[in-house]
Amino acid sequence: MLYSEIADVFDRLEGTGSRLEMTSILSDLFRTLEPSSLRNIVYLSQGKLHPNFHGAELGMADKLVLRSVAFVSGVPESRIDELWKKEGDPGKIAESLIKNRKQASLFSEPLTLEKVLKNLTLIENAEGKDSQDKKMKYLSNLLMDSGPVEARYLCRIVTGRMRIGAGSMTILDALAEAFGTKADRPDIERAFNITCDLGFVAETLALGGVDAVKDIKVAVGSPIKVMLAERLPSIPLILDRMEGRCAMEFKYDGIRVQAHIGKDSVKLYSRRLEDMTSNFPDIAAELRRQCRADEAIIEGECVAVDPDGNMLPFQNVTHRRKKHGMDKAVEDYPVKIFMFDILMAGGEDMTVRPFEERRSVLERTFDLSEMVKLTTMEIINTPKEGEDFFGRALGKKCEGIMAKSLSEGSVYRAGSRGFLWIKYKKDYEEALTDSFDLVVVGAFYGRGKRAGKYGALLMAVFDEETGEYCTVCKLGTGFDDAFLDSMPDMLDEYISEERPRMVDADMIPDVWFLPTVVLEVVAAEISLSPIHTAAKGIVKEDAGLGLRFPRFTGRVREDKGPEECTTVNEALSMFEMQSQNKES
């Protein structure tokens, strides 16, 4: 297959703002592809060669890509650097320079998908002292044979920023349209939620249809999208919602880990389903030792502890996220894992079982130890019991409690946030709102003391239904000098010349960013705002939801991707919670 056919489809996707149209462009393409090519093209459309959880990254830096572009186009690097400062997107620069290239190489031949995949794999595997040179060579080799549009997407694939706006939900829509009907969409989405591998789901569909997809099972090594909790403002309201009776667990403040325990090896995934095994080698080994089953998938919270085993605040466990010096961090920052769920045991899918059954299988499957613990859990029947339990959780330095439904239908709902789990934190008692995890979509240049730097950021929540990022506040408080200085390093690689199509904003910042970086923000109140676009028109015509007095907490949520940030629906439920709080 010619790579230009795929690049043309990417170009058409980029040119439309309509999700329906994107779905139809993609489904037309999907129907015509061999199953294995389909799998690869699904990954490429996300700027990857593999599913997200696969450790290897193409990850070429912009500067390196631009050196290839300079080499292939014959334009001096200094000129390209100037263009980059203005444009920010190496893909566009490559496109325009290749368009103006005087003549193509005499030996140039049409690029095939196979050749592109081969060279991308070489780029991914390049190692050693001269790895940068090798990467540049393999990319240049592809660019030599590229037309302008092909070059644009090659440069974007290797940097991992496709800018075509086709997220995983659009791909799932297109797969349903290509290989089934609308009614099959939930089965296809479930397969994605329990494997996190869009390419694999696509290939399975193309090979065996919807029936084959329904047969996909949870398995060690395929991370499962995590289940998430709703929130309510008081314990009586939680009990009401849970029909008078629920399980309550301490809510530990650490890092969520999904452990895939195989016969001889263990893999740990973060909440974003990145491989974190090397950050917690001690936990991985201890889980294998303490697990009675050959295979199991469990979830738990990894929490830092002091030498006496007392829990320490979240910041301590983040030392384990460092890239280097892990041996020392393992020694200096001991951790425990508090297990709260089991998703597979001895090859059997537990996600379809109710909570109580899962909990008892979890208890039976592990021998506990100093490092491997279960969350403290109790069955709660009255508000008084709930308040006491909450008090004990705070006494143990926990964030609050997690209430869990005991109903027949209390399955593990991979990838969804619902009222089967409800969180209740100390902050809800004191403040009107919970903290928010917001995505940076823009920046405003600073003035006065902040001149020459970014002075404030435009922040957004995620609308799961439309796939858009809608603004909720301009954030300028809570930044210390070190953070202000670090902003360009953290953000500039995501600069977008225009408003990214997935950003819905009325406020215009000085600089736009592709939604990528997530920051934790607290605010005094959620109010109705005519200038922000989150939930616009839902509570009041012509007004969206905005945050009053937003402040950065200092916590960059590296563990969250943009799609895992606070959603429009969550902001709406917090707005309602705040109204109820005010009334009471």
Nearer to ligand AMP, 95 or 249 (CB): 249
What is the DSSP secondary-structure string of 319-341?
A: GGG-SS-HHHHHHHS-EEEEEEE
Longest CA–CA span in the chain (Å) reads 82
Radius of gyration of the chain (CA): 25
Smallest gap from residue 526 Cβ to ligand AMP (A): 17
Nearer to ligand AMP, 204 or 365 (CB): 365
Distance CA 152, CA 12 (A): 13
Strands 503-504 and 468-475, bridge-based pairing: parallel
Report the residue number, 252 or 389, with the smaller CB distance to ligand AMP: 252
- Of 92, 251, 536, 560, catalytic: 251
User: What is the contact mask toward ligand AMP in residues 200 to 239, using x (rule: CB under 6 A)?
Assistant: -----------------------------x----------
The one among 53, 84, 340, 552 contacting ligand AMP by CB under 6 A: 340
CA pair distance 72, 179, nearest whole angstrom: 41
Indicate the residue whose CB is closest to ligand AMP. 256
Number of residues that bind ligand AMP (CB under 6 A): 11
- Binder to ligand AMP among 49, 139, 158, 402 (CB under 6 A)? 402
Q: Which two tokens stand for residue 181?
A: 């009907």
According to the binding rule CB under 6 A, does residue 249 interact with ligand AMP? yes
Does 252 bind ligand AMP (CB under 6 A)? Our answer is: yes
The stretch among 127-135, 157-165, 250-258, 496-504 that binds ligand AMP (CB under 6 A) is 250-258
Exactly one of 92, 251, 267, 358 binds ligand AMP (CB under 6 A); that residue is 251
Q: Are 311 and 266 in contact (CB under 8 A)?
A: no
Tell me how far, at minimum, the Cβ of 260 lies from ligand AMP, in Å.
Answer: 17
Distance between CA atoms of 141 and 118, rounded to whole angstroms? 11
Q: Does the footprint of ligand AMP cover residue 436 (CB under 6 A)?
A: no
Tell me the C-alpha distance between 220 and 580, whole Å.
43
**Would you say 400 or 442 has its CB closer to ligand AMP?**
400
Nearer to ligand AMP, 135 or 423 (CB): 423
Q: DSSP characters for 391-433?
A: HHHHHTT--EEEEE--STT----TT-EEEEEEEEEHHHHHSSS
Does the protein bind ligand AMP through residue 190 (CB under 6 A)?
no
For 448, other C-beta atoms within 10 Å of its C-beta total 6
* Residue 251 known to be catalytic: yes
Instruction: Please tell me the distance from the alpha carbon of residue 529 to that of residue 536, in angstroms, as a whole number.
Output: 9
Report the C-alpha gap between 471 and 455 in whole angstroms. Answer: 17
Residue 9 vs residues 98, 120, 387: alpha-carbon distances, Å: 19, 19, 57
Return the closest-CA partner of residue 57 out of 130, 137, 112, 131: 131
Q: Does 48 contact ligand AMP by CB under 6 A? A: no
Cα distance between residue 102 and residue 383, in whole Å? 77
Please state the closest distance from residue 57 (CB atom) to ligand AMP, in A. 24
Q: Any idea which residue has 């676009």 for tokens?
A: 533
Give least dist CB 114 to ligand AMP, A: 41
341 versus 504: smaller Cβ distance to ligand AMP: 341
Which C-beta is closer to ligand AMP: that of 250 or that of 454? 250
CB of 247 to ligand AMP, least distance (A): 10
- Whole-number Å distance between alpha carbons of 534 and 280: 38
Q: Binder to ligand AMP among 101, 152, 161, 423 (CB under 6 A)?
A: 423
Q: Give the integer Cα–Cα distance in Å for 468 and 584.
A: 34
**Residues from 364 through 383 that contact ligand AMP (CB under 6 A):** 375
For residue 306 the two structure tokens come to 């002091």
- Asked if 377 and 392 count as a contact pair (C-beta separation under 8 A), the reply is no
d(CA 468, CA 460): 9
Q: Does 428 bind ligand AMP (CB under 6 A)?
A: no
89: contact with ligand AMP by CB under 6 A? no
- Least CB distance from residue 126 to ligand AMP, whole Å? 35
Among 249-257, 277-285, 323-331, 532-540, the segment contacting ligand AMP (CB under 6 A): 249-257
- CB-nearer residue toward ligand AMP: 258 or 529: 258
Helix (H) or strand (E) segment spanning residue 522? strand 518-522
The residue ranges that bind ligand AMP (CB under 6 A) are: 229, 249, 251-252, 256, 271, 301, 340, 375, 402, 423
Catalytic residues: 251
